[in-house]
Amino acid sequence: MNGSRVVLALLVLFAATLLVLPLTFGLPGGTGPPEAVTESGDAINQVYWVVFGMAAVVFLIIEVTLIAFIFRFRRRPETPPNVEGPQIHGNTRAEIVWTVIPAVLLLILAIYTFSRVPEVEAKPGGGDMGNVVTIEVTGHQFYWQYRYPNDALSYDELVLPIDRKIRLVLNSEDVNHSWWVPELTGKRDAIPGQTNTLYFTPNTTGVFENGVCGEFCGIQHARMTMRVEVVSQEDFDAWLEENAPEAEDIALGESQWEAACAKCHGLDGGGDIGPAIAGNSILTNPEALDLLVRVRGQNLPGNPSYMPPVGKGWTDEQLATLIAYVKSNEQLAGPGGADGG
């Protein structure tokens, strides 16, 4: 096999690798975007693949040409060393061509991308507003709070009806977070003092657990995951009714504990990156708990352990719900803390 055949074989191998590589991106665990269950998510994925496809073609043409040129214009054995090749100064036509082609490609990409923005944004038309389900989303260090139209609450887990336009109204009580469930749509920041909205319409029931906070927000940012369950309209109505606000709802208090407290103090309050708090009398003392979780957190000079005010913005009912759960749990409440103890 002579030299040119080796190079040809390498080129073919290289091109084949480049062509096959993108196919692995769509596989589970690949680097491509997951399959979407909303039109908004579909539009985002289509833009992704169009941009990827154009970039791949350009990459292939450039790299194959580069390698061909390296081979074609290499120094031949018969050329004496230290001889310089021909010196070329400018080629107006080539320069115009390699400026115009990328400019046209970028223009096409820009026009295509902007043309898909309305689908991605998925804003409802004026007449559809009545059918929109609005849910208030509040980012906290380090969990998500959801408030539904009937004032029902959930923490970290969001329940949505299928085939209804969803409007998430995003806010934060402390630092910037970003709400992101890739199967549903793009990410949107939750910023203190600013209200952002996000629209989408889920078209498939199921559980979507790839959600993560998309903005670094502190030590437990990685634990700020989210789970979205899309259910039928009847199941959604039933869920809302079941979770209608109710004084001292122990099950809700448990999810509140898991979301707001357990990520740092452990599920059993035995301590994790935060200190052990099981049995601490503050947990069942409304005034002390109010001051700690709603007002100031733990941020004392000389005290190395910082705790954000995790319940900033909570209503009195939310504080009562958490206390009700702690009291229902003997280990957390400690001696004398539990009901009737």
For ligand CUA, the binding residues (CB under 6 A) are 139, 142, 177, 213, 215-217, 221, 224
Cβ at position 193, least distance to ligand CUA in Å = 16
Q: Which is nearer to ligand CUA, 139 or 182 (CB)?
A: 139
The backbone torsions φ and ψ at residue 227, rounded to the nearest 5 degrees and listed phi first, read -130, 130
Q: For residues 138 and 280, which CB has a smaller minimum distance to ligand CUA in the complex? A: 138
Give the chain's largest Cα–Cα span. 99
Distance CA(45)–CA(37), nearest Å, equals 11
Q: Which is nearer to ligand CUA, 216 or 306 (CB)?
A: 216
CA-closest candidate to residue 294, choices 321, 313, 318? 313
From the centroid of its chain, how far is CA 196?
Answer: 15
Q: Which residue type does 225 have?
A: T
- Least distance CB 204 / ligand CUA (angstroms): 27
List the one residue out of 76, 96, 93, 98 whose CA is nearest residue 85: 76
Beta strands in the chain (DSSP E): 133-140, 143-147, 153-155, 157-161, 166-172, 177-179, 188-190, 196-200, 206-212, 225-231
Q: What are phi and psi of 66, to 5 degrees?
A: -60, -50
Distance, in Å, from the CA atom of 183 to the CA atom of 223, rounded to the nearest integer, reads 19
- Closest separation between CB of residue 143 and ligand CUA, Å? 8
Which is closer to ligand CUA, CB of 141 or CB of 318? 141
**Would you say 176 or 205 has its CB closer to ligand CUA?**
176
Cα–Cα distance for residue pair 146/221, rounded to 1 Å: 18
> Using CA of residue 264, residue 265, residue 268, residue 270, what is the dihedral sign?
positive
CB of 70 to ligand CUA, least distance (A): 46
Question: Residue 142 or residue 148: which is nearer to ligand CUA going by CB?
Answer: 142
CB 197 within 8 A of CB 170: yes
Tokens, residue 236: 């959604």
In whole angstroms, how close is the CB of 179 to ligand CUA at the nearest point? Answer: 9
Least Å from the CB of residue 145 to ligand CUA: 12
Return the number of the residue (217 or 307) whose C-beta is nearest ligand CUA: 217
Q: How far is the CB of 217 from ligand CUA (least distance, A)?
A: 3
Q: How far is the CB of 243 from ligand CUA (least distance, A)?
A: 24
Q: Considering the complex, state which of residue 143 and residue 314 has its C-beta at the smaller distance from ligand CUA.
A: 143
